[in-house]
Amino acid sequence: MTARSALARPRPNPLPDTAPDSSPGSAEARSSRRGRSRRPLVACGLLLALLALAVVCSIAFGARVVDIGEILDGLAGRGEALGALAVAERVPRTATAVTAGAALGVSGALMQAVTRNPIADPGILGINTGASLAIVAAIAFVHISSLWEYLWVALAGAALTAVFVYAVGSLGPGGTTPVKLALAGVATSAALSSLISAIMLPRAEGLTDFRFWQVGSLGRGTWASLATVAPFLLVAVVLAAAVARPLNSLALGEEMAVGLGVRVGRTRLLAAAAGVIACATTTALAGPIGFVGLMVPHAVRMLVGPDNRWLLPLSALGGAALLTFADVLGRVIARPGEVSVGVVTAFVGAPVLIAIARGAKVREL
């Protein structure tokens, strides 16, 4: 063997190649994808467990504590009369909390997606206050009295308020921005709340009605009222499901969404309609409850990311659990009375709003 051939022969590498295989088909990449795909399922299981715990606590705790045995006997129509009565009163209230919380969670997620505003919420934008004012004005001047009438009036009030807030937030240079939209919503909500006070306080209905239409309460929920609002919430759910995938494309920017075949105007209109319907229906059922639609989508987004196909249904679960826990807390801390659930959510949600406004990029999602 000549010296030249020995030099030309490739020498074996004494050190093994330790660089990880980062190709799409590598084991590490597949494991990472599997981990990401499991996150929504894990989050769903966690939220279902929290919701189940909230439901049990809601039935068990109140002016009188009911143990598990009494709950089961009450559901079966047996047991002590007092325990059965407590269960019979708390089960419809719990169902109302679950329904209203789910609707508010979805409504908040939709409004944040449509406006690309991380501090969007039916309460902050004044939409539920507009629905509440419309109902109060109709009660005072037109003398409506049924939940069915409340629903249609609330829809009109919520829709008009949403259009007004968006128009005010669009004024000035730069068009609509998250900060301008939030400021317009807060100012509008304050003005509408003062009108509610002006209408309700001089009237003889008393403090209970005033408190209900100012901060919300779950005490009026019945099976009949839930059956009345069910068709409206079903429409909101269908619309939300239809726009979940297009909203993902819209999050990439309008030009990209148009390039992907998304009808931007139609998607925004349907998503806004779903959010307004869910918010107005909840206001007619339980009054203007705030901050649920702000807190829940942010928490769910931390768990599963921005994919609206998961964000919307999991926001429903999270909203149901949060509002039910808030109702339990309001009943426990003021026993044998109660603190309105809207006060509890505001007490918890106000610091969250401050943290989001200070720590997040409030320009857009």
> How do residues 31-56 score in pLDDT, each as one tens digit?
555 556 789 999 999 999 999 999 99
- Tokens 């981990």, located at residue: 35
pLDDT reading at 109 higher than 90: yes
**What gap in Å lies between CA 149 and CA 280, rounded to an integer?**
12
Residue 280 and residue 155 in contact, taking contact as beta carbons nearer than 8 Å? yes
92 occurs within a structural domain: no
Residue 114 resides in a domain: yes
| pLDDT of 130 above 50 | yes
In a domain, 15, yes or no: no
Residue 2 lies in a domain: no
In a domain, 321, yes or no: no
pLDDT at position 11 = 52
Provide the residue type at 258 as one letter.
Answer: V
Across the chain, mean pLDDT equals 85
Region 83-90 average pLDDT: 79
Q: Which of 3-12, 49-58, 301-310 has the lowest mean pLDDT?
A: 3-12
> Structural domain tally of the chain?
1
Whether residue 54 lies inside any domain: the answer is: no
> Each residue of 336-346: pLDDT tens digit?
888 999 999 99
Map residue 260 onto helix, strand or coil: coil
Domain carrying residue 143 = 101-219+228-314+338-359
DSSP 118: T
| Distance (Å, whole) CA 296 – CA 307 | 15
Q: Where are the alpha helices (DSSP H) in 61-80?
A: 68-75
Tell me the pTM.
0.86
Task: Give a yes or no: residue 22 inside a domain.
Answer: no
pLDDT value, residue 260: 85
CATH number at residue 156: 1.10.3470.10
Q: Is residue 328 part of a domain?
A: no
